[in-house]
Amino acid sequence: MRIHLIAVGQRMPAWVEAGYREYAGRMPPESSLHLIEVPPEKRGRKADLARIAEREAERLRAATPRGARIAALDARGRALDTPGLATCLSGWLQDGRDVALWVGGPEGLTDGARAAAEWLWSLSPLTFPHPLVRVLVAEQLYRASSIINHHPYHRD
């Protein structure tokens, strides 16, 4: 199974790329993590933000591998603790399908994008900058995989 972190945005600061690579590189081969960046729409003073979000959602869909389970990161989603994420990851591993984790742009995800997802995941009720979400997701997936594999990285 591969986990595809499909995120709107390109050209991230070096600290984001380094943080993401650090944790993605630690993932075990049976649940490898791969980043797919989709270009954001240009935003101007009088931009149609709803249309921009729709175009970005189309790009997320297009970048999603066929047959992958879609989980969208959204504030309206289910909040999990780390052991709960480990349980979820374990289920994904048993299922064997690839997983696509969608991270929308500044306007978030459209209703249609949320409806296309099998699961909505909320990292927190706090709002995080989109670049930081990449690092948080990679670290939490690594932490969840360490619980599954009885690795001492996660401590209660």
**Residue list, annotated binding site for S-adenosyl-L-methionine:** 73, 104, 123-128
Task: Say if CB 82 and CB 142 are below 8 A apart.
Answer: no
32-38, strands of its sheet edge to edge: 32-38, 2-8, 99-103, 69-79, 119-122
Q: For 42, which DSSP code? A: P
Q: Are 120 and 78 in contact (CB under 8 A)?
A: yes
Binding-site positions: 73, 104, 123-128
Checking 47-52 for CB contacts under 8 A at 24+ apart, the result is: 49/107, 50/107, 50/110, 52/105, 52/107
Interior angle at CA 13, CA 8 and CA 15, nearest 5: 115
Interatomic CA distance for residues 150 and 147, integer angstroms: 5
115: which 2 tokens?
């409806």
